[in-house]
C-alpha cells in the first residue's frame, strides 16, 4: 500500500480524478440552474470534443489537480479549525 501511495503518477491520477469529479458536480449543478447543455464526465478530463476553443489535455489535467489540492487544503483547514 505504501508503494501505491508514494508513486508519483498514482498521486497525480488520484488528484486528477478528484478534481474532475468536483468540476463535474459543480458544472452539472450550475448548468442545470442556467438550463445549459451539460458536459459528459469524460469531457472534464479530456476536454470538449465538439468545441474548437478548448483546453488541451494538459490544461484540463492541470485544472483538475489544482482544484483537488485546493479542496484538500480547505478540508484540512476546516477540519482543524472546527476540531472535527
Grid cell of 55 as nine digits: 483546453
Res. 63: pLDDT tops 80: yes
Res. 73: pLDDT tops 70: yes
pTM of the shown model: 0.72
Q: Which residue segment(s) compose the domain that 34 sits in?
A: 2-81
Secondary structure of 4-55 in HEC code, one letter for each residue? HHHCHHHHHHHHHHHHHHHHHHHHHHHHHHCCCCCCCCCHHHHCCCCCCCCC
Number of domains in the chain: 1
pLDDT given at position 56:
59
What pLDDT, in 10s, does the model give residues 8-59? 788 888 888 899 899 999 989 998 999 888 888 887 777 666 666 555 556 7
Count of CA atoms in the C-beta half-sphere (13 A) of 30 = 7
41 or 71: which leads in pLDDT: 71
pLDDT given at position 71:
95
Amino acid at each position: 500500500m505504501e508503494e501505491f501511495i508514494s508513486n508519483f503518477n498514482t498521486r497525480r491520477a488520484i488528484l486528477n480524478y478528484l478534481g474532475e469529479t468536483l468540476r463535474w458536480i459543480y458544472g452539472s449543478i450550475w448548468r442545470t440552474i442556467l438550463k445549459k447543455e451539460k458536459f459528459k464526465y469524460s469531457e472534464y478530463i479530456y476536454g470538449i470534443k465538439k468545441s474548437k476553443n478548448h483546453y488541451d489535455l494538459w490544461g484540463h489535467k492541470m485544472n483538475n489537480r489544482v482544484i483537488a489540492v485546493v479542496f484538500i487544503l480547505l478540508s484540512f483547514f476546516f477540519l482543524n479549525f472546527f476540531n472535527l
